[in-house]
Amino acid sequence: MPADPTDGKQLVFQQAEPLDEWSAEELDAPRLLFNHEISLLAFNRRVLTLARDESVPLLERLKFLCISCTNLDEFFEVRVASIRQRIRHGANQPGADGLSPQSTMAAIRERVLEMVESQYHVLEEELLPALHDQGIRIIARNRFTQRQRRWLHQHFRSQILPVLSPLGLDPAHPFPRILNKSLNFAVSLAGRDAFGRSSAMALVRAPRSLPRIIRIPKSYSAGPDDFVFLSSIVHEFIDELFPGMEVIGSYQFRVTRNSELLVDEEEVEDLARALEGELMERGFAEAVRLEVASGCPEHVVNMLASKFGVELDDVYQCNGPVNLNRMVAVYDLADRPDLKFAPFNPHIPKSLVASNDLFASIRRRDHVLHHPYDSFQPVLDLARQAARDPQVLAIKQTLYRTGVDSMLADLLIEAARAGKDVTVIVELRARFDEEANISLATRMQEAGVQVVYGVVGHKAHAKMMLIVRREGRGLRRYVHLGTGNYHQGTAKTYTDWGMLSADPDIAQDVHRVFQLLSGFGRAQPLKRLVQSPFNLHDFVIGRIERETELAQAGKPGLVMAKMNGLTEAGVIRALYRASRAGVTVRLVVRGSCCLRPGVPGLSEDIRVRSVLGRFLEHSRVYHFGNDGEPETWASSADWMGRNLFQRVEVCFPIDDPEAAERVRKESIDLVFRDNVQAWELDGQGRWRLACGERAPLHLQELLMQSATDV
């Protein structure tokens, strides 16, 4: 196999041609923007480099490889599916970057081919040998010992064969519906069966009830951590599915389908019921990619492509198992803590320990939490105290992604059963979590929770909790606002900011946002919060323009921000204008970035960095210099069109100077000092590790250590 083009430090994944010359009149020109899809693929290549990083524990490297494969699946299910729909419907107008849908697809294929080759290279040439050296072996078919083969044969007959249902393809057995991302085998046959039929082709589907990784008992192997792919076992004994026939060859394949749910929200009467119907069909939607084993004959590839309605440019050959992401099971099966990240116990501020009166603590001052370095437990403890406090009258909550077993949902149910008025905005359309959210909504409704599904045409993406409590002769409101979801699992692995506050103006604003989400009425003016889709875009543009005017007047201008994606053309052009005026712009963008930094005369005062590591950088923070009176904000919104125009988001101020300094330092300043895991983007779309000669500074490890030392 050719060497992986990624050397681990210099990621040459060019997104665009060099921008050597441009004129001021071109500020709105498409060529000043990178392509969104290609930028997303560049992000996934950065994820893949973590699988090659020898400073990362070995099993974590394997997990990063699997994450890169899962990310690529979602890229096809969502981004490629959307482009394919545009092409099919004749919508060929170019995007903001000037590329037509067809040109974008050609650029995607070129980079995905390279990425897939790199994924299998990393697996075969780096990870599997390293795992083998550590006593964790993935046994290939040609490496089965005689004793292992006997055990696997018995396992096949007792645990696998009874579940399989081979399907011979003939006029009585047409090509079946194949579920999205399921493992399948195309089998070439010769001979005649009991009925005299001579079908040349059959299919075997591997049910999802079967584990994709099987541990071989220690008594049959050299150690406790010998594993084999389900696909290897099926390949080895597939002839037993076709007694009396000759199996000429069997070839793995997997199809990826469009996973967008198409529901006309303005026409349906019950969104939950409509989505349930769509979910049943999503697994069989339009095919957008076909993966086949590298040895699959051309005529079989052509047959499969024809059956799935894809072009040959949608076919990707895999030099290994087509369901590579299922190797993540090895991470859990191998009891090797020495090959994983060391356990980390997040910090809980003393004032927010569960034994305290959290309401009193929040009344005294706002509390800002940086997850996962600060524990998410105080948020759960606040919900628990609210559920059990007889003085609490009402709780309002937004839920976007919460997980299947949500402690927070249980507490909301407990509060409703205790007689409190509980209203929950459940966003059913959180992609890939629709089924879980429908189940959650049903469970809460049965307990007496008032469940609302947000606003037609706009996803409710804001992260808010509002608690109404009787105190003295009146009512006081307490709020939690955050940049991440109310998910106790991801709160341990995603970096996010949250704020607990009893500020009357902030609480009033949150109440008004909830009114909009659950009822009808015009948007009321907010004193402290900023809200999309109404004014967040104007707010961001306005703050950037204010810094631009300061720079034009000879004063320092400063814009700093951290987010998951920067793709909205209006914001990018405002940043270009700011840079040209002399504003210093520092951006931390984890994923897709369509802005070209460092272009002379256009963006030379703009730097863009991205950090990837143990934790997923997920927080959104905006900071503006404001002529010596700095403003720091946190938000649920990225600077992307969908967040600024098509979702309900909130942006909230961090007023306490000490907290604001911490937010800015930990989210942005330290990123530009990190010389271990920070990547920097240049004007051609190339990402390079920001290495330096000074002492290593590892952002996430530094913050973990700081949390431990508190």
CA distance 589 to 100: 25
CA distance 41 to 494: 21
- Reduced to 3 states, what is the DSSP secondary structure of residue 396? strand
Residue 446 CB contacts under 8 Å (≥ 6 apart), including other chains: none
Residue pair 372/492 in contact by the 8 Å Cβ criterion: yes
Distances in Å between the Cα of 567 and the Cα atoms of 95, 128, 204, 266, 461 are 11, 37, 43, 28, 18
Length of the chain: 710
CA distance 123 to 130: 10
CA distance 481 to 467: 12
Residue pair 625/644 in contact by the 8 Å Cβ criterion: no
Residue 613 CB contacts under 8 Å (≥ 6 apart), including other chains: 50, 677, 698, 699, 700
* Run of H or E residues at 600: none
Angle, alpha carbons 529-535-538 (nearest 5°): 115
Of the residues 461, 487, 618, 623, only one is catalytic, namely 461
- Reduced to 3 states, what is the DSSP secondary structure of residue 86? helix
- Reduced to 3 states, what is the DSSP secondary structure of residue 102? helix
- Going by C-alpha positions, the residue among 366, 368, 329, 321 that lies closest to residue 347 is 368
Helix runs in 478-566, H state only:
504-518, 536-552
441 DSSP assignment: H
Structure tokens at 187: 């089998």
Q: Bridge-partner residues for 168, per DSSP?
A: 202
CA distance 287 to 310: 7
The single-letter code of the amino acid at 257 is R
Q: Examine residue 321 and say whether the peptide bond preceding it is cis (omega within 30 degrees of 0).
A: no
Residue 516 CB contacts under 8 Å (≥ 6 apart), including other chains: 455, 523, 524, 648
Q: Is 461 an active-site residue?
A: yes
* Run of H or E residues at 168: strand 167-168
CA distance 358 to 415: 17
* Run of H or E residues at 664: helix 657-664
Q: 109-132 burial by CB neighbour count: b if 16+ within 10 A, else e?
A: eebbebbbbbbbbbbeebbbeebe
CA distance 631 to 79: 35
| Residues recognised as catalytic | 461
